[in-house]
Structure 1
Amino acid sequence: MNISDLICLLTIAEERSISKAAKKLFMAQSSLSQSLQEIESELGSRLFVRTSTGVRLTPAGEQMIAYAEHALVDYRQVRNQIQDMEELKAGKVEFGVSTFRGSYLIPKVLRLFKKKYPNIQVEITEANSMELEQHLIAGQIDLALIVLPLMKLKSDVKVWLKDEVCLAVSSDHPVLEYAKETEKNGKMYQYVDLEDAVEFEYVLSGYDTVLGNIARNEFKKREIKPKVYNANLTAFFAASMARSGLGMAFTYASCKENYEDVTYLSIGREGIYLDLALAFPPDGYRSKAARALEACFLSSEFLKE
């Protein structure tokens, strides 16, 4: 059994489906099924029970997954220490970020990093902030951009950017009749009070996402029962729906798109803000490559991009 086998087992356990795991691993389902059969044959025990909805771990499988998690953490730490001997001339950083935010913020950082360290590979894991915390705790990634406050992670973080949660609406949406203006840092912004928008529909992200949580908490705080057109969309899909006039969507100011058919509104006069932070695994080895990527995030060169 090798490292690739352990990664396959962990992915099947995480996805609870061989077909979903195969897709995530860029493998044919038949190849992954065969690999699993060979591993189970080598161990002499079934690790997963096939069900109508996917797979679940057997007691032997739970024990094997616990071993795999610890083994991969140890492997990555040793790998990072060995790569550090190359003094940033080679190596790899496993970096975590949400798909929505990553598509807007990360390419500029990676361009700067690649310019400085052309032989270091950055492998990206896309997941929401709550999942990324778990990946850091498990030692599966070296660095992540997450939203504060922390939910599970117990480690130091570096605040990188203050982001605003705002509403994306189509430019002809009737809610704009209720929009007001306020000044922030010498610029004029439009905002709307959620109480003034109770008659309009929303498209929301899921409960297990930061945006989905923020939206529902704001409604609860104001004792508002929103009209919801869809309630479990990705942030990107929700914003696209809003552009088309199919409801209002919560989004991030850092992910604004400059289209003529969309308007962004602050929520309330004071707005709603959150901190984006760079986080490392707790008590883990911080490789030189991971620290170099962190430095690119924090550098003045990036801020001028």
Structure 2
Amino acid sequence: MQFQQLLYFVAVAETRHFTRAAEQVHVSQPSLSQQIRSLETELGAELFSRARGNIALTEAGETLLPLARRILADADTARLEVQELARLRRGRVRLGATPSLCTGLLPEVLRLFHDRHPGIRLLIEESGSHDLVRLLARGALDLALVVLPLPTASPALTTVEVLREDLVVVSSADAPAPRRPTRIADLRDQPLVMFRHGYDLRELTVAACRAEGFEPTFTVEGGEMDAVLGFVRAGLGMAVVPRMVATRAEPGLRVTPLAAPGLQRTIGLAHRSDVAPPRAARELQGVLLAHVGQEHPGGGG
């Protein structure tokens, strides 16, 4: 049983005329009649009574008609669903990002994307680069914003550099002003508020302190980005954070640049190499790269 045969059958059933049905479906009348006969042969029953030139449905035809209409309607629904997805009217994007990027970069990017494609659902996974790489590898994400280089080289992932951003020191606005600009060595005797294990910023800060020959002193550790900024505002210590996050969270905070050469981190957008991202994910990637190009010309460093 072919789709076209059902289409022709319904046209004849509705017009009760082979010639008019053929015109309606844009096919020659002999071709339509042949397809109807083939359908009847396959089903083993006549679908139309053709006595004295009057076209009427047989009992078999009456049984088939609502089923055929339902099949054609389902096919039309399927076509519209796929077209809507292709035109970015519906669908979803599963995006992973580190917590600092969820705070600093993503809100405006997601607003821009949602304004253009309000029918696309955005599913955000907030975690460290290690976890996001694992989620990408097993197909649980379409895209992920991660810190480069990847924690472990993965030929299964493709990455593109998005931006390089400076890290700065934040302290309470009520605390004594630190040296401007601040050297990493100046943090030797300063209490630090530190992110939880698995945070890229934690690893980067600790590595920079150890490169200067000391272990940092933590007054509070284990928080997410918002908690760390809140603890700093409360005067519990300093923290090293991305400039984008610091500038958006300035009330109650003092932002101090790091002395040259400073600290930077490179942000990349990753996806699986063996599977092309869905069209909606590719569109989000385009919005993200365009926004970064406008807001952070030259890579954001």
TM-score between both structures, scaled by the size of structure 1? 0.64
Q: Would you say the 8 A contact 1:204–1:233 is kept in 2?
A: yes
Deviations 1:261-287 (A, max 9, x none): 311222332210111111112312321
- Paired with 1:284 and 1:278, the residues of 2 have a C-alpha distance of 15
Cα distance change of structure 1 residues 139 and 83 upon mapping to structure 2, 3 Å threshold: farther
Which of residues 251, 257, 270 is equivalent to 1:279?
Answer: 270
| Secondary structure of the corresponding residue to residue 294 of structure 1 | helix
Q: How far apart, CA to CA, are the structure 1 residues paired with 2:104 and 2:98?
A: 10
> Relative to 1, partners in 2 of residues 1:174 and 1:224: Cα closer, same or farther, differing over 3 Å?
farther
Name the structure 2 match of 1:140: 140
CA contact (8 A) 2:163 2:292 kept: no
Gaps of 5+ in 2: 1-81, 297-301
The CA deviation string for residues 180-208 of structure 1, in whole angstroms up to 9 with x for no partner, is 3xxxxxxxxxx211323322211111231
Contact 2:92 2:120 in 1 (8 A): yes
Instruction: Provide the secondary structure at the position in 2 that maps to 1:280.
Output: strand
Query: SS of 2:272's equivalent?
Result: coil
Offset at 1:211? Answer: 0.8
Shift, 1:167, TM fit: 1.3
Displacement after TM superposition at 1:134 (Å): 0.9
In structure 2, distance between residues paired with 1:304 and 1:260: 22
Distance in 2 separating the partners of 1:301 and 1:287: 21
Q: Aligned pair in 2 of structure 1 residues 284, 83: CA closer, same or farther (>3 Å)? A: farther
Q: Confirm or deny that 1:245 pairs with 2:245.
A: no
Q: 1:106 and 1:260 mapped to 2: Cα distance?
A: 20
Separation in 1 of the partners of 2:290 and 2:185? 41
The offset of 1:303, in angstroms, is: 2.6
Q: Is the 8 A contact 1:142 1:286 kept in 2?
A: yes
> Within 2, Cα distance between the matches of 1:208 and 1:300?
28
The offset of 1:258, in angstroms, is 4.8
Q: Pick closer, same or farther for the CA change 1:208–1:258 going to 2, 3 Å.
A: closer
Residues 281, 172 of structure 1: CA spacing in aligned structure 2 closer, same or farther, 3 A cutoff?
A: same
Contact kept? 1:169, 1:264, Cα under 8 Å: yes
Q: Hey, what's the Cα distance between the residues in 2 that align with 1:287 and 1:197?
A: 45
**Equivalent pair of 1:165/1:272 in contact (CA under 8 Å):** yes
- Bigger shift: residues 252-261 or 237-246: 252-261
Contact 1:147 1:274 survives alignment (8 Å): yes
CA shift, 1:255, in A, is 0.5
1:269 aligned to 2:260? yes
Counterparts of 2:141 and 2:83, CA distance in 1 = 15
Of 190, 194, 199, 2:189 maps to 199
Instruction: Give identity over the alignment, percent.
Output: 24
Which amino acid is the alignment partner of residue 122 of structure 1? L
Residue 216 of structure 2 corresponds to 226
- Measured at CA, do residues 252 and 83 of structure 1 come closer, stay the same or move farther in structure 2, by a change above 3 Å? farther
* Secondary structure of residue in 1 paired with 2:86: coil
**SS, match of residue 174 in structure 1:** coil
1:298 is matched with: 289
| Cα distance in 1 between the residues matched to 2:286 and 2:184 | 39
Corresponding residue of 1:165: 167
Number of residue equivalences: 213
TM-score by length of 2: 0.64
1:142 is matched by which residue type in structure 2? D
Judged with a 3 Å threshold, the aligned counterparts in structure 2 of structure 1 residues 143 and 244 are, in CA distance, closer, same or farther, namely same
Paired residues for 1:176-215 under 5 Å: 176=178, 179-180=179-180, 191-215=181-205
Opposite residue 130 of structure 2, the aligned amino acid is: M
Q: Is the 8 A contact 1:141 1:281 kept in 2?
A: no
2:291 counterpart of 1:289: no
Superposition deviation, residue 172 in structure 1: 3.5
Task: Note the alpha carbon deviations across 1:234-276, whole angstroms, 9 max, x for none.
Answer: 2321122112211111211111135343112223322101111
Whole-angstrom CA distance in 1 between matches of 2:184 and 2:105: 28
Give 1:300 shift.
5.3
Residues of 2 paired with 1:300 and 1:212: CA distance? Answer: 27
Inter-partner Cα distance in structure 1 for 2:262 and 2:165: 10
**Partner Cα separation in structure 2 for residue 135 and residue 300 of structure 1:** 25
Between Structure 1 and Structure 2, the one with more strand by share is: 1
Shift, 1:84, TM fit:
8.5
Over aligned residues, Cα RMSD in angstroms? 2.5
SS at match of 1:240: helix
Contact 1:135 / 1:141 at 8 angstroms: preserved in 2? yes
